[in-house]
């Protein structure tokens, strides 16, 4: 179908269509995209893809694969660097639309998050270019590890930070020589559509980088079940991760999954308590819709009272409001269904005897804000301790010694991140070894080096992305063995 008219999203022109084989393509049906800042505000009716659009996109990606994968890493890097420059140019516009679409704080999108998208493309262009194959001699042969582009790659992303998280996966896939079909989440589809405008402007060859919009169980499912796809990269909930993992297993396709989190935030008595309390309150930012957040406060008993005092003061400074406003620190939740889910956790906690220390209610009847909430659970098996809530709801538990802190921290099925506050370097090293998590931050949070491995243990994920780990995942590694004495020429 030919393209639909572009939509004016508060002064920014956005296409509601798919981007397949270098062109905008509409669907026979659409889905509504509303703003969490004001649920009456219908931002766009977005193309609702299905089996047909998935087929078109995979066919285009397959067709483009030979030429794209035959380019040198240097040549592919020219496209990626050009795209990065265009993202940098349009940061403000993309940040504005993403703020309207998913309600993440506009200032943080503008100053940090969207620019990370540009850095992802630049960093992976450089890493792929600078790859030095591992070489060694053994058994009378010279061995070399080579990377071979894998093929069409499906990238499926969640509704939180959709632009940054999509580029985090698409950049290494493209740099490695794969062609990509991106399926953004249906609750925040617009910023990824804007990415495709820039892909077009950067003159990527048709079919190299496609986006299909639609619902997970429709077009998402059709994509991950297509046997022509050679890599699947997913970020989202463990429940969906299991479904996609089954499809990947049926087609024997390597699959990486960055899933939910339930990170511990451990505070030792020797820590800078004020700094810990300030950082703890940051877990409420963006309505707590951050997978890496430390949502279980685990505090040494001797400083429990003092920490709660400081934490309450820091939390009271939060302003619940419009995410476009720089004074706002707690944004609304993404969708009425998600608000009901978050609220359901707290109501069940109340009913089961967990103690609400503060918060515990919807902020206003006509909006999607939920008050920052702290719960002291009856036991470690309480649902609010064991399951990801993905809202501004934290739990507080106390421990006596380091062994108990580690046991509590490691007691959920998740293992994405952990945060520790302590002044002891030795303790930091011991906890680094003992905690089961993909990333452990000591006296800091969200500091990221793109070359470090990133992922989760347990139900928080399969595989690692970041740096060479991602480039290896998106490649088929092969070993070249040349017998010693084979001459040049
Ligand atoms: P979700 O699992 O509901 O959806 C994620 C994506 O999967 C969406 O694009 C959706 O359309 C698609 N999908 C759903 N069913 C599908 C199917 N059957 N086949 C193919 N695709 C399908 O997750 P969400 O609610 O969008 O995001 C929130 C979750 O994501 C939380 O659990 C959060 O912790 C997690 N998350 C993890 C990370 C990380 O880096 N580990 C980062 C951000 C979010």
Taking each continuous run of H as one helix and of E as one strand, the counts in the chain are 16, 22
Q: For ligand 1, atom 20, name the residue with the nearest CA.
A: 220
At residue 404, the pLDDT reads 98
| 3-class secondary-structure state, position 287 | helix
Ligand 1 centroid from CA 174, angstroms:
22
Q: In the chain, pLDDT over 90 holds for what percent of residues? A: 99
End-to-end CA distance of the chain: 54
> Mean pLDDT score of the chain, rounded to an integer?
97
CA distance 117 to 177: 19
pLDDT (tens digit per residue) in 292-343: 999 999 999 999 999 999 999 999 999 999 999 999 999 999 999 999 999 9
Name the residue of 98, 158, 182 to mutate for ligand 1: max ligand atoms within 8 A of Cβ. Answer: 158
pLDDT tier at 488, thresholds 50, 70, 90: confident
At residue 2, the pLDDT reads 83
pLDDT (tens digit per residue) in 47-103: 999 999 999 999 999 999 999 999 999 999 999 999 999 999 999 999 999 999 999
| Strands 209-211 and 263-267, sheet pairing | unpaired
Q: Which residues in 285-361 belong to E strands, given as ranges?
A: 294-300, 355-358
Residue 227 CB-half CA count within 13 A: 2
Judge contact between 222 and 204, C-beta under 8 A.
Answer: no
Residue 1, pLDDT > 80, answer no
Ligand 1 centroid from CA 146, angstroms:
32
Q: State the burial class of residue 81 (Cβ atoms within 10 Å of its Cβ: 0-12, 13-18, 19+).
A: middle
Tell me if 236 CB under 6 Å of ligand 1.
yes
pLDDT (tens digit per residue) in 173-194: 999 999 999 999 999 999 999 9
Phi-psi region of 43 (alpha: psi -120 to 50; beta: other; left: phi over 0): alpha
Ligand 1 centroid from CA 273, angstroms:
35
Ligand 1 centroid from CA 158, angstroms:
4
DSSP annotation string for 237-264: -HHHHHHHHHHHHHTT--EEEE----EE
Mean pLDDT over 252-276 rounds to 98
Mean pLDDT over 456-478 rounds to 97
Instruction: Quote the Cα angle for 425-427-432, to 5°.
Output: 95
* 258 flagged as catalytic: yes
- In ligand 1, the atom with minimum distance to the C-alpha of 416 is 41
pLDDT (tens digit per residue) in 395-423: 999 999 999 999 999 999 999 999 999 99
| Domains of the chain listed by start with CATH number | 7-259+456-479 (3.40.605.10), 263-442 (3.40.309.10)
- In ligand 1, the atom with minimum distance to the C-alpha of 221 is 19
Model pTM greater than 0.95? yes
Tell me if 346 CB under 6 Å of ligand 1.
no
CA distance 99 to 324: 7
Judge contact between 284 and 358, C-beta under 8 A.
Answer: no
pLDDT tier at 235, thresholds 50, 70, 90: very high
pLDDT tier at 489, thresholds 50, 70, 90: confident
Residue 438, pLDDT > 80, answer yes
| Strands 475-483 and 141-149, sheet pairing | antiparallel
- In ligand 1, the atom with minimum distance to the C-alpha of 461 is 41
Q: In the chain, pLDDT over 70 holds for what percent of residues? A: 100
Residue 26, pLDDT > 80, answer yes
Residue 30, pLDDT > 80, answer yes
Residue 280, pLDDT > 90, answer yes
Tell me if 416 CB under 6 Å of ligand 1.
yes
DSSP annotation string for 375-426: EE-SSTTSHHHHS---SSEEEEEEESSHHHHHHHHT-SS--SEEEEE-S-HH
* 291 flagged as catalytic: yes
């Amino acid at each position: 179908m030919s393209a639909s008219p572009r939509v004016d999203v508060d002064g920014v022109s956005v296409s509601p269509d798919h981007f397949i084989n270098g062109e905008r393509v509409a669907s026979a049906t659409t889905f509504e995209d509303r703003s969490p800042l004001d649920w009456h505000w219908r931002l766009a009716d977005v193309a609702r893809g299905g089996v047909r659009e998935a087929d078109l996109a995979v066919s285009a990606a397959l067709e483009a694969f030979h030429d794209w994968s035959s380019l040198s890493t240097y040549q592919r890097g020219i496209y990626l660097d050009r795209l990065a420059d265009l993202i940098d140019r349009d940061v403000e516009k993309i940040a504005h639309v993403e703020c309207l679409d998913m309600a993440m704080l506009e200032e943080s999108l503008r100053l940090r998050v969207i620019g990370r998208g540009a850095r992802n493309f630049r960093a992976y262009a450089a890493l792929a270019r600078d790859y030095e194959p591992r070489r060694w001699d053994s058994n009378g042969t010279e061995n070399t590890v080579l990377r071979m582009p894998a093929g069409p790659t499906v990238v499926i992303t969640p509704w939180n930070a959709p632009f940054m998280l999509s580029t985090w996966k698409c950049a290494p896939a493209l740099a490695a020589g794969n062609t990509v079909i991106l399926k953004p989440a249906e609750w925040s589809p617009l910023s990824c559509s804007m990415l495709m405008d820039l892909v077009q402007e950067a003159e990527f060859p048709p079919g190299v980088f496609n986006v299909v919009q639609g619902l997970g169980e429709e077009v998402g499912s059709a994509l991950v079940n297509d046997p022509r796809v050679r890599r699947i990269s997913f970020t989202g909930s463990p429940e969906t991760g299991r479904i996609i993992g089954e499809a990947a297993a049926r087609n024997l396709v390597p699959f990486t999954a960055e899933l939910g989190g339930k990170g511990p935030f451990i505070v030792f008595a020797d820590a800078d308590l004020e700094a810990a309390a300030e950082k703890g309150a940051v877990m409420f930012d963006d309505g707590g819709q951050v997978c890496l957040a430390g949502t279980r406060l685990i505090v040494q008993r001797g400083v429990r009272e003092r920490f709660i005092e400081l934490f309450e003061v820091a939390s009271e400074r939060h302003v619940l409001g419009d995410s476009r406003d720089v004074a706002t620190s707690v944004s609304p939740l993404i969708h009425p269904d998600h608000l009901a889910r978050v609220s359901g956790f707290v109501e069940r906690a109340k009913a089961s005897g967990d103690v609400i220390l503060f918060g515990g209610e919807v902020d206003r009847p006509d909006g999607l804000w939920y008050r920052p909430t702290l719960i002291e659970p009856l036991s470690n098996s309480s649902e609010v301790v064991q399951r990801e809530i993905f809202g501004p709801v934290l739990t507080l538990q106390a421990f006596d010694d380091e062994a108990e802190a580690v046991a509590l921290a490691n007691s959920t099925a998740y293992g994405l991140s952990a945060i520790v506050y302590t002044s002891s370097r030795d303790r930091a090293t011991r906890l680094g070894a003992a905690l089961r998590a993909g990333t452990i931050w000591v006296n800091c949070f969200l500091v990221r080096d793109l070359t470090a491995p990133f992922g989760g243990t347990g139900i928080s994920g399969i595989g690692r992305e970041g740096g060479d780990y991602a480039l290896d995942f998106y490649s088929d590694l092969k070993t070249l063995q040349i017998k010693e004495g084979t001459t040049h020429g």
